Amino acid sequence: MKRPVQALLLTLTGTGLLHTALFTDIYLRYVKAGLRPVLIASGAVLLLLGLAAAALGDGQRHTAHDDHEHGHDHAATPRVAWLLFLPAISLLCYAPPALGAYTAARSNTKPVAVQKGFAALPATSPLPLTLTDFTKRVQQDRSRAIRNRIVQLTGFVTPAEDDDGFYLTRIIFTCCAADSQTVKIRVHGTEAPPANTWLAVTGTWHPQGALGTRTAPAALDVKDTRPIAQPVNAYTDDLPLTPS
């Protein structure tokens, strides 16, 4: 790889990282939010390195003789480095979307942690809940506080195996999209919208099994669905940051 190409590659990679992490929120599709400062720093370092390589070149005026005597020839970069152009260009011009229904349909539901005590539910109606909290209330809360409550859940649509309803889904990851896990709530009593549509769904628990035990399915009888914009924190199971 020639020196100008190396300089271009470093500059492109640096710009790509800065573009995703500093100027836009695109990085949230791929990695956790906490990585942002590190990504910005890396982008800046790579950009400076690329500019330095373009401006200074080799930085020394050594002869051909010198070049052969020197033990480690930094001018020679293997051609595998060309592969780095793919993520750089992809980040800059053609960033793929966050993981969605395709991945969710192929993964198990993440097991919900066991919670000991449950606080009383707030009196608001409809009551906004995360998918995880709803699952916990249905399967673990012995006081059955969720019975007859109208709740509001948000997530994206993953088609179900049969025709009755769909799965309201969130994909969560710890570090990056490679370790993604899925939380799903079955929604009954409505036509399935197209996959990956973001929805706010209001409804009540779908009565089946014994509420407060593992036999109760995390499922909802729908009252109303409303399309929403994809939240900024799409890869979490949080209540949406945007006022709904």
Partner 1 sequence: MKKSDELVDVVDGVAVVPVGSPPLRRIRPWPLGAALAIAAGAAVLLLAGTQWLNEPAVQAWRTVCLAITVQALPFLLLGTALSGAINAFVPADLFTKVLPKRPALAVPVAGVAGAVLPGCECASVPVANSLIRRGVTPAAAFAFLLSAPAVNPVVLTATAVAFPGNPAMVAARLLASLAAAAVMGWLWLWLGKEEWLRPALRHRHTGHEHGRSRWNEFRLGFQHDFLHAGGFLVLGAMAAATFNVAVPRSVLDAFSGSPWISVLFLAGLAVLLAVCSEADAFVAASLSGFSPTARLAFIVVGPMVDLKLIALQAGTFGRAFAWRFSTATTVVAVTASALIGGALL
Residues 170, 199 contacting (CB under 8 angstroms): no
Distance from the first to the final alpha carbon of the chain? 52
Closest to partner 1 by CB, 178 vs 210, is 178
Residues 155 to 184: which contact partner 1 by CB under 8 A?
173-179, 181
38 binds partner 1 per the rule CB under 8 A: yes
Candidates 86, 93, 119, 120: give the one binding partner 1 (CB under 8 A).
86
Q: For the CB of residue 199, give the shortest distance to partner 1 in the complex, in Å.
A: 19
Residues 106 to 145: which contact partner 1 by CB under 8 A?
106-108, 110-111
Candidates 12, 18, 47, 98: give the one binding partner 1 (CB under 8 A).
98
d(CA 19, CA 21): 6
84 binds partner 1 per the rule CB under 8 A: yes
127-128 and 151-159: which strand pairing? Answer: parallel
Closest to partner 1 by CB, 184 vs 222, is 184
41 binds partner 1 per the rule CB under 8 A: yes
What are the structure tokens assigned to 110, written together? 């993440």
Closest to partner 1 by CB, 98 vs 151, is 98
Closest to partner 1 by CB, 113 vs 119, is 113
| DSSP 8-state assignment for residue 162 | S
Which residues are 158's β-sheet partners?
167
Q: For the CB of residue 235, give the shortest distance to partner 1 in the complex, in Å.
A: 10
What are the structure tokens assigned to 237, written together? 């199971």
23 binds partner 1 per the rule CB under 8 A: no
| DSSP 8-state assignment for residue 192 | P
Reduced to 3 states, what is the DSSP secondary structure of residue 229? coil
C-alpha angle 173-174-176 in degrees, rounded to nearest 5: 70
Q: For the CB of residue 126, give the shortest distance to partner 1 in the complex, in Å.
A: 30
H-helix or E-strand spanning residue 10: helix 3-18
Binding track, positions 57-76, relative to partner 1; x by CB under 8 A: -xxx---x--xx-xxxxx-x
Candidates 55, 63, 65, 80: give the one binding partner 1 (CB under 8 A).
80
- In order of 39, 58, 195, 229, the CA distances from 159 in angstroms are 35, 57, 6, 19
Closest to partner 1 by CB, 46 vs 222, is 46
